[in-house]
Chains A and B, each alone.
Chain A
Amino acid sequence: MTTVFIAFLLNFVVLFLIYVIFVLGLNIQWGQAGILNFGLVAFAMLGAYITGILMFHPTASSIMQVGLGLPFLVAFPIAVAVTGVIAWFISPIVKFGLEELAIITLAFAVLVHIVTDNEAWLTGGTTGLMITSNLNDRLDVLTYNLAFVGILLVVALAVYYFTRTLNFSQFGRILNAIRLDELKAKSLGIDAVSYRMKAFVIGSVIVAIGGSLYLYFVVRTVPDLFPVDLTFILWIALLLGGSGNNRGAVLGMGIYMLLDMLARLYLNIPAHPEVGAGLKYVVTGLLLVVVIVRRPEGILGPRRSKYGG
């Protein structure tokens, strides 16, 4: 009982750390550069699925016919880089306004989802994509979860350090300037579109890192592991904590995960499992409304620079 419970908790911590990586990516795009991305989950999917395809060993009988059988440490950087290139190809969309971006990015996420759902030869489709993982084969549940808490803690801290450095650098300052007044930034000789494109790619790469590690942790993935509404969970977390603020992003994610965990533990009505899940959204939604009404800039407020404020 206790082992199961500890594994359950560790599982939550792992998920929290993966989501933290996602939300830090979103924070660069929205919190700093002001790029609206309702399709963030697509880049997590790309990171996960490209990693999966690179690692998969195809056999004559497997549904999935593509795979290179590479080890994770080789597949991971390739998958992240390829996702970065894909993001770079579509990054010119940042020229568009918020409304257009909302539709384009959401459509992109749905598109990626449909393709992974249907092109079973490439992605395993709804049957799923399963990779072989040494860690998974050798370690028991508890150690496995513990190992991943360690791995993800290191990666999440590295990502946090990177986004923090970016935030307070001249690059971050310019991104913030563009978000606050794009025309004014341009009038000061700043190529706003180019900066926003870079921010879009950097954010997507960070999300792909999270996605790739997510697959490595769960070993087997189906498209529904990355539901389109995952993006909005990340948005809620960011808006709760304070967009533009890395600490706020982490805090918001923490609050969401805590609510999620409490809902699963205490709102679990065996006959009606959907009630607990539904109530979680109700509570999160109420919290978001309260925060937006009482403190529109989020719990921790916007980013603070070392030049006061």
Chain B
Amino acid sequence: MVDREVRTILRCEHLSRSFGATKAIDDCSLEVQEGTITSIIGPNGAGKTTLFNLIGGFLRPDSGEIYFRDRDVTVLCRGCKCHVLAKIGIAQSFQAPRGFGEMTIMESLMVPPPLANDNTLFSTLKLLISKKDTSCEVREKRALDMLSGIGLEGKRNDRLLDQDAGTQKLVELAQILLLDPSLFLLDEPLAGVSRNKVPLILNYIKGLRDKGKTIVMIEHKMEPVLNISDVIHVLVNGKVLASGSPEEIREDQRVKEAYLGVSHAGT
């Protein structure tokens, strides 16, 4: 029990959320251990993205509690204080990539996050007198390092909205990496990404786990999910149908019926 490996970083208890008569999330409870890659799979409409939006503070839960490192963050989630959640260490990427489309890739990577002690209004006033902007230089360097990391240096001055979905996904991932949260909520990080970029993203995700970060991801590509996940939760009709290691999930009869058997069976 004292082992670091089994510390719970995220705990959802009896979460529910309805849209009209549809119960998107229905009394859903799950736990995520720190330093693991947890995948959430399930058929379309199972409530996966809704669950992420509840944890990330983009939707209010109707009932239930969310704990982050044993801290009750339900109030933050209820108040849609996603910026506070991002500051305490929960960051979310979106299913349909969101960014600041009119900005260049370089500039959109300079948006996150507020650096420590970086009062941007005050530093702007200082800029009126002095041309030197150290915090901007730090940002610029971090953004450039990140760009070369994801192999997009060549596109640094291209507008984000002119890029294909895969590139936008990469930029979004890079933005979150710059935020350096302890819990990553990645909504289909591989969707739309070209085949040759998939290993790059998977390596990033594995590298994050090696650094002690926790990743929760929603993904439909079964092969990578089964390969890199430590734990898989199967969500069906807003409830956790089954949880376990990839091997257990692969053998689980209910999962086969509800999900794997019906759609693509993966490996």
Contacts and interface: CB of A to CB of B under 8 A. Distances in A.
Interface in A156-188: 161-162, 165-166, 169-174, 176-177, 180-181, 183-188
Given A174-B120, A198-B121, A181 B104 contact: no
B103 A309 contact: yes
A171 B114 CA distance: 10
Interface in B86-142: 86-87, 91-92, 94, 98-104, 106-108, 110-114, 118, 120-121, 123-124, 127-128, 133, 135-136, 139
B7 interface: no
B123 A169 contact: yes
A169 B100 contact: no
Give the size category of A's interface with B: 20 to 34
Of B98, B110, B124, B179, most A-chain CB atoms within 10 Å: B124
B159 interface: yes
Contacts of B103: 176-177, 180, 305, 309
B124 A166 contact: yes
A112 B98 CA distance: 40
A162 B121 CA distance: 12
A189 interface: yes
B70 to A, nearest CB: 21
Given A165-B124, A187-B82, A307 B98 contact: no
A145 B58 CA distance: 55
A180 B102 contact: yes
Given A188-B86, A188-B175, A307 B124 contact: no
A97 interface: no
Given A189-B112, A192-B83, A302-B102, A308 B56 contact: no
A238 B86 CA distance: 35
B106 A308 contact: yes
Going nearest first, the 6 A-B pairs with the smallest beta carbon separation are A308-B157, A189-B86, A188-B112, A180-B100, A171-B120, A169-B124
A215 to B, nearest CB: 26
Contact of B92 (A162, A171, A187, A191): A187
Interface of B: 56, 58, 82-84, 86-87, 91-92, 94, 98-104, 106-108, 110-114, 118, 120-121, 123-124, 127-128, 133, 135-136, 139, 156-159, 175-176, 179
A183 B110 contact: no
A190 interface: yes
B82 A186 contact: yes
Nearest to B172: A184
Given A185-B111, A309-B107, A191 B83 contact: yes
Nearest to B121: A171
Nearest to B107: A307
Contacts of B176: 188
B104 A305 contact: yes
A169 B110 contact: no
A188 B110 CA distance: 11
Contacts of A198: 121
Interface string A275-309: 00000000000000000000000000010010111
A177 B100 contact: yes
Contacts of B120: 169-171, 174
Contacts of A184: 94, 98-100
Given A305-B107, A309-B159, A162 B179 contact: no
Nearest to A305: B107
18 contacts: A165-B127, A170-B110, A170-B124, A171-B121, A177-B100, A177-B103, A181-B101, A184-B99, A187-B82, A187-B86, A188-B86, A189-B113, A189-B179, A305-B103, A308-B104, A308-B158, A309-B102, A309-B103
